[in-house]
């Protein structure tokens, strides 16, 4: 009896497999599918000629048509055993999309070694080899950073734009790697179009704010200034309409996910780079100090964690330790104060960048503001008695900017690392180690600038809230936008006010 049952089971299995083959051929012919899909189906059948596949097929009694069995087989057997009686839906992401592994698609730069050092570092362990490669890359990046600063504001702005484009490319490439199997149209083209449109809007705003006097002398540029936001909106609408026209049935969810993906990338990269440009115009010190603080925190947190790290800090980034986090924080506060004190002594770093009409170029010559002049401060009460016993002064002379630097150093050492934790969680979601392999020992550009973007936002908000005063350039821009009779009215009102206060007469004498 047992042999008879086994024969019957074998015959039933064979009949089901033949039936599935027939359904597959009919379904593929009707849908005009490629020969590649047919090969995938047959490979799956040969691979899973076991009870599990047949039991899974028996469990799909809720499927309305036999053609859906093929969809179930081709998309993954875990769907077949799903207990939801709603059936297999085309608008739900497949199991392959839910368990994404891009480790082979996105190259990693953490374990990448410089070709020159391959033979030298062969005998070392992976840990020390990686440490040496990271150290050499850090030194080289520091030299490049110093050279860019020496090149002036224009070199910094170009470097910021290059970094922005590269970071955006690395983020978009992940999305493209995830969904390119579906052949979704226009994804990369629309992503880059939105990047160009966003840059046109943000960089146009910067030019209007700081170069309005020059721009308004040209009729064509005046038109672009007056209708800048409307033109930017129209450019965005063109991309928006293009996205709607590219929608494909069955892939709505994926396409809208990519649409959101692109806009989040723009928010993270383009908006932050715009804020970095704004900070540069306030003075190079507002760019150099925050950027250097993040670098210092990253370096010293790595050193303290490498030699003393024992206690894990956060699960999303297992290599981060409390020892590295605390040690990097103290080092950032100390070295950040020293760097701020040093830079406050040079007008090249502290003067805002303005356009000089007489010279016809950008200048950084100014009288230091009170923020960059030494001020005398009384020490706290609990220290005054100690200083009195030591016969020391109860006051200290310090640049006010150094006090502001403490706020930036605390943010960069306490909140800044969470930008890196966010990036680590993002990479773990796609099972990748780095965003790229541009920098040996570090990874991609985004791996080095994940904390910088968060810091740029804080510095810009800090300047707007506690430092910035009304800008003459912005006021002039608003005056130039007035009608001629309104400009004359403003002129006479301002002249009368200056004369009443005795300011205009003094200059005339």
Our count of domains for the chain comes to 2
Using one digit for the tens of pLDDT, what is the confidence trace for 451-476? 888 899 999 999 999 887 666 666 77
Q: Please enumerate in sequence order all residues whose Cβ is within 8 A of that of 66, keeping only pairs 6 or more positions apart, or say none.
A: 19, 23, 27
Residues 312 and 421 in one domain: yes
Asked if residue 200 is part of any domain, the answer here is: no
Mean pLDDT confidence for 299-307: 90
Domain final residue, candidates 49, 73, 89: 89
3-state DSSP call for residue 105?
coil
166 in Cβ contact with 438 (< 8 Å): yes
Any domain includes 322: yes
Q: What does the block give as tokens for 163? A: 């970094």
pLDDT > 80? residue 81: no
Residues 260, 349 within the same domain = yes
Q: What is the pTM of this model?
A: 0.71
pLDDT digits (tens, 9 = 90+) for 426-437: 888 878 878 877
Rounded to whole angstroms, the Cα distance separating 61 from 55 reads 11
- Residue range 236-284, pLDDT digits in tens: 999 999 999 988 888 888 889 889 989 999 998 999 899 999 899 889 9
- Domain limits for position 462: 115-184+248-362+400-469
Asked if residue 58 and residue 127 are part of one domain, the reply reads no
Question: What is the radius of gyration, based on Cα positions, of the chain?
Answer: 32
Quick one: 160 and 83 in the same domain?
A: no
Q: Which residue in 267, 146, 288 sits closest to 195, CA to CA?
A: 267
Please check whether residue 348 is in contact with residue 287, taking contact to mean a CB–CB distance below 8 angstroms.
no
In this predicted model, what pLDDT tens digit does every residue of 189-230 receive, in sequence order?
Answer: 899 999 999 999 998 888 777 666 566 666 677 788 888 899
Q: What 3-state class would DSSP assign to 376?
A: strand
The verdict on 306 and 343 lying in the same domain is yes
Do 278 and 345 reside in the same domain of the chain? yes
The CA distance from 261 to 267, in Å, is 10
* 72 and 127 share one domain: no
State whether 160 and 31 are in the same domain: no
DSSP SS3 for 408: helix
**The pLDDT of residue 115:** 64
Handedness of CA 207, 213, 214, 218 (dihedral sign): positive
Which run of H or E residues covers position 314? Answer: strand 312-314
Is residue 478 one of the residues assigned to a domain? Answer: no
Asked whether residue 343 is domain-assigned, the answer is: yes
Can you name the residues that pair with 376 across neighbouring β-strands? Answer: 397
CA distance 142 to 183: 41
Same domain? 72 vs 122: no
**81 and 131 inside one domain:** no
Q: How far apart are CA 146 and CA 138, in angstroms?
A: 12
């Amino acid at each position: 009896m047992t042999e008879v049952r086994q024969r019957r089971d074998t015959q039933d299995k064979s009949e089901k497999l033949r039936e599935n083959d027939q359904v597959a051929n009919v379904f593929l012919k009707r849908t005009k599918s490629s020969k590649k899909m047919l090969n995938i189906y047959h490979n799956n059948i040969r691979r899973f000629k076991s009870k599990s596949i047949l039991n899974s097929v028996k469990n799909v009694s809720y499927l309305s048509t036999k053609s859906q069995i093929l969809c179930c087989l081709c998309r993954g057997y875990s769907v077949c055993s799903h207990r939801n009686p709603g059936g297999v839906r085309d608008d739900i992401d497949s199991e392959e999309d839910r368990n994404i592994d891009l480790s082979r698609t996105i190259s990693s730069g953490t374990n990448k070694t410089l070709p020159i050092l391959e033979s030298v570092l062969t005998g070392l362990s992976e840990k020390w080899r990686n440490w040496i490669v990271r150290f050499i890359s850090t030194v080289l990046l520091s030299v490049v950073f110093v050279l860019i600063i020496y090149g002036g504001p224009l070199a910094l702005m170009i470097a910021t734009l290059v970094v922005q484009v590269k970071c955006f490319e690395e983020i978009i490439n992940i999305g493209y790697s995830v969904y390119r199997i579906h052949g979704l149209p226009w994804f990369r083209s629309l992503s880059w179009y939105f990047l160009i449109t966003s840059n046109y809007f943000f960089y146009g705003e910067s030019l209007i704010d700081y170069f309005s006097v020059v721009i308004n002398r040209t009729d064509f540029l005046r038109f672009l200034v007056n209708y800048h936001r409307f033109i930017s909106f129209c450019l965005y609408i063109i991309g928006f309409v293009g996205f709607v026209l590219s929608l494909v049935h069955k892939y709505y969810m994926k396409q809208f996910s990519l649409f959101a993906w692109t806009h989040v990338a723009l928010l993270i990269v383009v908006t932050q780079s715009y804020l970095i440009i704004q900070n540069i115009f306030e003075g190079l010190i507002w760019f150099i100090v925050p950027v250097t603080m993040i670098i210092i925190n990253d370096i010293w947190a790595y050193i303290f964690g490498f030699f003393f790290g024992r206690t894990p800090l956060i699960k999303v980034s297992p290599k981060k330790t409390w020892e590295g986090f605390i040690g990097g924080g103290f080092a950032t506060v100390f070295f950040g104060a020293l760097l701020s004190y040093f830079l406050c002594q040079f007008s090249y770093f502290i003067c805002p960048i303005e356009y000089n009409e007489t010279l016809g170029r950008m200048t950084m010559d100014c009288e230091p503001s009170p923020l960059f002049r030494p001020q005398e401060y009384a020490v706290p009460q609990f220290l005054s008695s100690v200083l009195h016993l030591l016969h020391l002064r109860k006051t200290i002379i310090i640049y006010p900017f150094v006090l502001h630097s403490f706020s930036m150093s605390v943010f960069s050492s306490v909140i800044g690392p969470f930008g890196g934790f966010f990036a680590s969680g993002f990479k773990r979601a796609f099972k990748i180690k780095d965003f790229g392999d541009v920098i040996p020992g570090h990874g991609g550009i985004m791996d080095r600038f994940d904390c910088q973007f968060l810091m740029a936002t804080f510095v810009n908000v800090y300047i707007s809230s506690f430092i910035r005063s009304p800008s003459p350039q912005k006021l002039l821009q608003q005056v130039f936008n007035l009608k001629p009779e309104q400009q004359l009215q403003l002129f006479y009102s301002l002249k009368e006010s200056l004369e009443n206060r005795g300011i205009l007469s003094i200059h005339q004498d």
